[in-house]
Every structure is written in structure tokens, then in C-alpha cells.
Structure 1
Amino acid sequence: MTITTLTSRELNQDVGRAKRAAQEGPVFITDRGRPAHVLLTIEEYRRLAGAGRTLGQALAMPGLSEIEFEPEKSGLASRPADFS
């Protein structure tokens, strides 16, 4: 993945260059020398945002089964039901 940095001026002068660079990786757009925006392909945006992913797809992600999860005990005590 290639990361490209363009100034706002460079973006305005050559949008095509920015779009081509986004095919290779994120394009950081600076404003007065500071990162202000990131240009991504729609595919990369959807991948990062998880757009359209169902709960089943999210749970089936590779490597998810390797995550250890031990929830804390709630400390709530149960009592017998009163059916009278």
C-alpha cells in the first residue's frame, strides 16, 4: 500500500492524479501543512466502514475465534420464583 500526500492546491490542480493515487492507497490532503482529509476508493471505504456487513459476516471474520473473551460475573444472585 502506497500512501500519498497532496496539498489542497495540488489536488485542485490535478484531481486525476489524486484518483489514480487512491487506487494504490490512501491519499492524505493537507491544508496549510496539516492533514485535513483522506481520499479513498469506495471499496476501501466500505471495507473500513463495514458497510453492508451482517452480524453473521462480522462474526465469521477470520481470526475472530482467536480472541479471548471472559466477561465479568455480574454478582446478581438468583432466587426461587414465587408462584403463589
Structure 2
Amino acid sequence: MIITTLSSREFNQDTSRAKKAASEGPVFITDRGRPAHVLLSIEEYRRLTGGRGNIANLLAMPGLSDIEMEIPPRTERAGAVDLF
């Protein structure tokens, strides 16, 4: 695995280079010399996340209506809050 580091300016000026590098390994994008973002290929992202879907897809899964969930009762707060 090859790790590539690009400044934000380099990333903005040559996005295709960053995309090509992401196919070989993670691309760290820095802001003022500090890592701020990581660019990954979609395959690597799916591998890392275990292929989990988004919340909308997960909620739409068949059989979810059979799951029972207990929600504890809401408790009152101890005192009023003065916002002024």
C-alpha cells in the first residue's frame, strides 16, 4: 500500500493525480501541514466500513417491524434554566 500526502493546494490543482493515487492507497490531504482529510477508493472505503449501508437503507430492511425496542420513560429535569 502506498500512502500519498498532498497539500490542499496540490489537491485542488491536480484532482486527477489524487484520484489515481487513491487507487494505490490512502491520500492524506493537509491544511497548513497538518492532515485534515483522507481520500480513499470506494473499494477501500467499503472494506473498512464492512459494506454497511446508509441509515435510510438500513431502516428499509425487511423484517424490521418484527424488532421490539424498549424506550425508557422520559424523566423531568431537576430545575428550571434561566436563559437571561
Fold equivalence (TM over 0.5): yes
Listed one character per residue, the Cα deviations across residues 28-73 of structure 1 (whole Å, up to 9, x for unaligned) are: 00001000000000000000001149xxxxxxxxxxxxxxxxxxxx
Q: Which residue of 1 aligns with 2:7?
A: 7
**Mapped partners of 2:28, 2:36: distance in 1:** 7
Q: Which residue of 1 aligns with 2:51?
A: 51
Task: For 2:6, give the aligned amino acid.
Answer: L
**Mapped partners of 1:46, 1:27: distance in 2:** 16
**Mapped partners of 1:31, 1:51: distance in 2:** 29
For these two proteins, the number of residue pairs brought into alignment is 53
Q: Map 1:1-84 to 2 at 5 A.
A: 1-52=1-52
RMSD: 1.3
Which contiguous aligned blocks of 4+ residues in structure 1 show a shift greater than 4 angstroms? Answer: none
Larger radius of gyration: 1
Task: For 2:2, give the aligned amino acid.
Answer: T
Task: For 2:5, give the aligned amino acid.
Answer: T
Task: For 2:39, give the aligned amino acid.
Answer: L
Percent identical across equivalent pairs? 77
Q: Is there any run of 5+ residues in structure 2 with no aligned partner, and where?
A: 54-84
TM-score (norm 1): 0.61
Q: Is there any run of 5+ residues in structure 1 with no aligned partner, and where?
A: 54-84
**Mapped partners of 1:34, 1:15: distance in 2:** 19
